[in-house]
């Protein structure tokens, strides 16, 4: 009896508690957006559309005494906040990561479910999950010590010698810091999420799909691509979009291997790029010494752009999934 009244009393507490929690998560996103908008507002007025279309990023002359005023807001003389290079780099590195990670993660997930002996499966699963737990800076360190020199000294010269007919490979390959290194690092970082999601999606399918296909005489490859894949397409897409969301915002590892390009686009996959997240981190310290404050505000405006890009990816993800739901019915 006592126990029952206590339970009844707890009911509204739980209701209010979960209500606050649900509201808080939405409110936090909203507050971040408001903060970015308010803080970046002078930069939005100063830069206009230049933040998305301009190529030159210059916080201006820190040690000059002159300033420039545009639309009623002031920046250091010579300031130009063009973010197109970083928007391009953000999308290009993530896209390249997807090109590498999507087929790879599918193969790994299939191997984990159908190819690894049952006894070894827990071990294999743990190894993949461990990959997700490795801190980003560790990937970056491996990238700078092992991956970048390999790309710069082995892969680059090889590609120059033998693959110069491929459009995005041709040309000066430089040091190895660049789009390809960043794409590979990002692919490795998002792989565990994609593999884990895909493995669960495949395991959730009735095993009869695979077994029936095999019974009809398919090879494993045919059974996987023709019978299993079509039934897991939606989960597959979800895994890709979650991974893409992570790749777009990844900062430290990318900063360490991307070559931090400024004022230029790469002409092949080996050359330096820069992402929004990386440029915010690397430019913030100098931006803090801009007496006009415009450099900090322009970095906040870049953050706003990144926020909107990830928001668009999320919305597209939801719409696609809903579409997939409808077509499945």
Partner 1 sequence: MRKFSMPALVVAAALLCAGPALASTRLLETGSTLLYPLMNLWVATYQKEHHGVEITTQGTGSGTGISQAIAGVAQIGASDAYMSDAQMKGTPMLNIPLAISAQQINYNVPGLNGVHLHLSGPVLAGIYSGQIRFWDDPHIKALNRSYAARLPHHEIIPVHRSDGSGDTFIFSQYLSFSTPSWRNGPGYGTTISWPAVATAVGANGNPGMVQTCKASPYSIAYIGVSFLNETNAAHLGYAALENRDGRFVLPTASTIGASARVMVAKTPRDERISLVYAPGADSYPIINYEYAIVNPHQADPAVRRQLATFLSWAIRSNGGNAAHFLNSVHFLPLPDSVVRLSREQILGIR
Structure tokens at 210: 């695979």
* 294 sits near partner 1 (criterion: CB under 8 A): no
Task: State which of positions 34-73 bind partner 1 (CB under 8 A).
Answer: 56-59, 61-65, 67
CB of 285 to partner 1, least distance (A): 4
User: Among residues 78 and 111, whose Cβ is nearest to partner 1?
Assistant: 78
Q: Candidates 28, 45, 115, 172: give the one binding partner 1 (CB under 8 A).
A: 172
Taking contact as CB under 8 A, which single stretch among the options 120-128, 184-192, 272-280, 321-329 is the one that binds partner 1?
Answer: 272-280
CB of 45 to partner 1, least distance (A): 20
CB of 73 to partner 1, least distance (A): 15
User: Among residues 288 and 311, whose Cβ is nearest to partner 1?
Assistant: 288
* 264 sits near partner 1 (criterion: CB under 8 A): yes
Strands 57-58 and 73-76: unpaired
User: Among residues 42 and 176, whose Cβ is nearest to partner 1?
Assistant: 176
Q: Candidates 52, 286, 318, 322: give the one binding partner 1 (CB under 8 A).
A: 286
CB of 84 to partner 1, least distance (A): 13
CA 102/CA 105 separation, integer angstroms: 5
* 277 sits near partner 1 (criterion: CB under 8 A): no
Task: State which of positions 126-155 bind partner 1 (CB under 8 A).
Answer: 144-145, 148-149, 152-153
* 263 sits near partner 1 (criterion: CB under 8 A): yes
* 288 sits near partner 1 (criterion: CB under 8 A): yes
Q: Candidates 89, 183, 235, 259: give the one binding partner 1 (CB under 8 A).
A: 259
* Cβ neighbours for 76, distance < 8 A, ≥ 6 positions apart: 59, 60, 61, 62, 64, 67, 68, 290, 291, 292, 294, 295
* 184 sits near partner 1 (criterion: CB under 8 A): no
Q: Catalog residues that contact partner 1 under the rule CB under 8 A.
A: 56-59, 61-65, 67, 76, 78, 80, 144-145, 148-149, 152-153, 171-172, 174-178, 255-256, 259-264, 267, 271-272, 274, 278, 281-289, 291-292
């Amino acid at each position: 009896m006592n126990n029952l009244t206590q339970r009844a009393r707890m009911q509204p507490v739980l209701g209010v508690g979960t209500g606050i929690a649900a509201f808080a998560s939405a409110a936090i996103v909203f507050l971040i957006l408001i903060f970015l908008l308010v803080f970046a507002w002078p930069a939005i007025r100063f830069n206009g559309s230049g933040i998305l279309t301009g190529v030159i990023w210059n916080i201006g002359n820190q040690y000059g005494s002159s300033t420039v005023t545009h639309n009623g807001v002031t920046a250091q003389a010579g300031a130009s906040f063009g973010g197109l290079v970083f928007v391009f780099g953000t999308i290009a590195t993530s896209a390249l990561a997807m090109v590498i990670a999507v087929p790879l993660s599918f193969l790994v997930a299939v191997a984990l479910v159908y190819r690894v002996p049952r006894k070894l499966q827990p071990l294999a699963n743990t190894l993949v999950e461990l990959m997700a737990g490795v801190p980003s800076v560790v990937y970056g360190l491996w990238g700078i010590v092992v991956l970048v020199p390999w790309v710069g000294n082995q892969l680059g010269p090889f590609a120059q010698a033998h693959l110069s007919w491929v459009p995005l490979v041709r040309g000066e390959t430089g040091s190895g810091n660049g789009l390809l290194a960043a794409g590979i690092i990002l692919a490795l970082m998002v792989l565990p999420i994609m593999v884990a999601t895909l493995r669960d999606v495949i395991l959730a399918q009735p095993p009869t799909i695979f077994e029936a296909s095999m019974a009809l005489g398919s090879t494993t490859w045919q059974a996987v691509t023709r019978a299993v894949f079509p039934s897991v397409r939606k989960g597959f897409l979800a895994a890709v979009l979650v991974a893409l969301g992570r790749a777009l915002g990844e900062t430290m590892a990318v900063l360490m291997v991307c070559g931090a390009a400024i004022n230029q686009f790469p002409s092949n996959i080996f050359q330096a790029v820069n992402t929004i997240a990386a440029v915010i981190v690397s430019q913030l310290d100098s931006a803090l010494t801009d007496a006009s404050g415009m450099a900090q505000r322009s970095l906040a405006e870049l953050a706003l752009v990144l926020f909107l890009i990830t928001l668009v990816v999320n919305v597209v993800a939801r719409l696609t999934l809903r579409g997939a739901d409808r077509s499945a019915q």
